[in-house]
Amino acid sequence: MKTIEIEDSLALTVCMKQAVAFERGLGARVWDEQGRAWLDFTAGWGVTSLGHSHPAIVAAITEQAGKLMQNPNSGFTYSPVRAKLLQQLQPLLPAGLHRVFFANSGAEANDAAVKLARKVTGRERVLAANSSFHGRTLATLSLSGGPENGARFSPQVPGNDFVPYGDIAALRRAIGDDVAAVILEPVQGEGGVRVAPPGYLQSVAQLCHRHGALFIADEVQTGFCRTGSFFAVDDADVQPDILTMGKGIAGGFPFAAFAVSDAVAAGVAKGDHGGTYCGNPLGCAVASAVVAFLVDNEIAARVAQLGLRALADLHLLAQRYPELVREVRGKGLLIGLQLHNDAQVTALASLCLDRRLLVTPTRNAVLRLIPSLLLEQQEWEEGLAILADALRALSAATQHAGRAA
């Protein structure tokens, strides 16, 4: 047993669970080594967009692995499945983004995007947002605003400054003709599921254009239908200069990409970027299968509809437990419950774990829900009932602790 201190100086005792070993999954569920089923509302940090072990992904891996996994002279040679994926992505990307580079992870895509932005513009300074998160390489940690990110690793990569997220006036004061790029998430994930205010992204793009800076949209978490549109910038009617992709792009297979405008591509020379595994045929085959499934089954519209229902249900739940839930926010199936402090989040996540519901504790006292995009209505209702019971238990325990004090 472990005692967690909460803000009002009371103590809440919860049982901190041992690590759970999962050996298989299907759809929105996973099974541990004891054969117990768990409902997964984490999707592996938003990665398993089609759920676990989706037949389309399994088939793509099996078929391509039997043909070719890695090109000879990778980067200098192409494969048919790579060309197919490029053709699939082109009509889905925001207008003007005609050149695609492949990567192995979202962090690598963001790292490359900023590297090339500095090279193309000839400038060094980059602006990012407070509470942002762009990856765990040294460069992307240095671009992730907050002491819990890059401050532990020194020296940080220089040339980065931060502004409050959603504050266009602050960005207007900070930007200048020395800025290479502004990098932002359309919805901050690790920062606490903070959705960009209406008109904000458009204003950012306009400011960047005015000062000759590049606008980098980090869609590693929000892309591929997660927010109810194929890319989150689609709803904002914004055309970034660079858009980074990852996580759901290949439904669980390590794969990522970034797309750039023609103007940016014109400044990229041979040898400026590459990687041994970038765009390998196996990864391209999986991503191709995922993209085809998302498009053919109109998953973006499905996510938008279920997301609205989920937010409405959670708002009702928040009204029942105002002492625990301060706010519910999100878009599509990227949803956050803002609690009053981190201790409440830890306790609530533990209570959900007791009931075999997997959720994601997030910084800034937020509990994040990132389920499979194919989550069924019945599965949502099941998870909601578990979350409600966990909140009831936490509320009762908090009240008991208060009376005991």
Going by pLDDT thresholds of 50, 70 and 90, the confidence category of residue 147 is low
d(CA 246, CA 394): 35
What integer pLDDT is reported at residue 344 of this predicted model? 97
The separation between CA 8 and the C-alpha centre of its own chain, rounded to angstroms, equals 32
15 pLDDT above the threshold of 80: no
Nearest to 46 by CA among 359, 301, 365, 376: 359
The 10 Å Cβ neighbour count of residue 180 is: 23
Going by pLDDT thresholds of 50, 70 and 90, the confidence category of residue 20 is confident
Give every CB contact of residue 39 below 8 A, 6+ residues apart in sequence: 28, 29, 356, 357, 358, 379, 382, 383, 386
What integer pLDDT is reported at residue 151 of this predicted model? 64
Q: Which two tokens stand for residue 113?
A: 């995007």
What integer pLDDT is reported at residue 7 of this predicted model? 35
Going by pLDDT thresholds of 50, 70 and 90, the confidence category of residue 3 is very low
3-state secondary structure string across the chain = CEEEECCCCCEEEECCCCCCCEEEEEECEEEECCCCEEEECCHHHHCCCCCECCHHHHHHHHHHHCCCCCCCCECCECCHHHHHHHHHHCCCCCCCEEEEEEECCHHHHHHHHHHHHHHHHCCCEEEEEECCCCCCCHHHHHCCECCCCHHHCCCCCCCEEEECCCCHHHHHHHCCCCEEEEEECCEECCCCCEECCCCHHHHHHHHHHHHCCEEEEECCCCCCCCCCCCCHHHHHCCCCCEEEECHHHHECECCEEEEEEHHHHHCCCCCCCCCCCCCCHHHHHHHHHHHHHHHHCCHHHHHHHHHHHHHHHHHHHHHHCCCCEEEEEEECCEEEEEECCHHHHHHHHHHHHHCCEECEEECCCEEEECCCCCCCHHHHHHHHHHHHHHHHHHHHHHHHHHHHC
Q: How is domain 55-296 classified at the CATH fold level?
A: Aspartate Aminotransferase; domain 2 (3.40.640)
State whether the Cα torsion 315-320-321-323 is positive or negative. positive
Average pLDDT, the chain: 92
Q: What is the rounded average pLDDT of the residues 74-82? A: 85
Is residue 32 annotated as a catalytic residue, yes or no?
A: no
What integer pLDDT is reported at residue 271 of this predicted model? 86
Give every CB contact of residue 111 below 8 A, 6+ residues apart in sequence: 135, 137, 139, 140
Q: At what angle do helices 299-320 and 281-296 cross, to 10 degrees?
A: 80
Query: By percentage, how much of the chain surpasses pLDDT 90?
Result: 82
Going by pLDDT thresholds of 50, 70 and 90, the confidence category of residue 274 is confident
d(CA 309, CA 262): 40
Is residue 177 annotated as a catalytic residue, yes or no?
A: no
Going by pLDDT thresholds of 50, 70 and 90, the confidence category of residue 341 is very high
Which of 41, 230, 235, 247 is an active site residue? 247
Is residue 247 annotated as a catalytic residue, yes or no?
A: yes
What integer pLDDT is reported at residue 158 of this predicted model? 83
Give every CB contact of residue 392 below 8 A, 6+ residues apart in sequence: 321
d(CA 90, CA 244): 14
What integer pLDDT is reported at residue 108 of this predicted model? 97
Which of 40, 111, 162, 218 is an active site residue? 218
What integer pLDDT is reported at residue 149 of this predicted model? 62
Q: Which two tokens stand for residue 3?
A: 């005692």
Q: Which of 76-80, 165-169, 316-320 has the lowest mean pLDDT?
A: 76-80
Q: Which of 45-49, 153-157, 301-305 has the lowest mean pLDDT?
A: 153-157
Q: Which two tokens stand for residue 7?
A: 């803000």
231 pLDDT above the threshold of 70: yes
Radius of gyration in angstroms for the set of CA atoms belonging to the chain, rounded to a whole number:
22
2 pLDDT above the threshold of 50: no
End-to-end Cα, the chain, rounded Å: 19
Q: What is the rounded average pLDDT of the residues 223-238? A: 96
Please state the domain extents for the chain: 55-296, 299-322+393-405
pTM (2 d.p.): 0.92
What integer pLDDT is reported at residue 405 of this predicted model? 60
d(CA 101, CA 245): 10
| pLDDT 10s digits, 90-143 | 999 999 999 999 999 999 999 999 999 999 999 999 999 999 999 999 888 889
Which of 41, 101, 102, 133 is an active site residue? 133
| pLDDT 10s digits, 169-219 | 999 999 999 999 999 999 999 999 999 999 999 999 999 999 999 999 999
What integer pLDDT is reported at residue 212 of this predicted model? 97
| pLDDT 10s digits, 345-355 | 999 999 999 99
